[in-house]
Amino acid sequence: MDLIVKVTRKGQTTIPKDYREKLKIREGDELLVGLRGREIIFTPIPKLDTLAGVDSEYGDVEEVKKEVERIREEY
């Protein structure tokens, strides 16, 4: 569903509530702003604490620490 929003004289606009809720965008969150042709793309930047465990399928914490140390020793 496409919506029309207005831009204020300060260049501000409001992200519609349905979109904010769907993307879990809260007050104070940061968005990456980019251009794709003539489109403005806003991408939510996830907070570090929300990423805890996202790669848990690839190994546990101790395995990851060992791998990081192994890679450090190579350098």
pTM here? 0.60
Q: 40-48 — which CB contacts under 8 Å span 24+ positions? A: 42/15
pLDDT of residue 38: 96
pLDDT value of residue 51: 67
Phi and psi, residue 34, nearest 5°: -140, 170
Domain ranges of the chain: 17-74
pLDDT digits (tens, 9 = 90+) for 32-51: 999 999 999 999 998 776 66
| Length in residues, the chain | 75
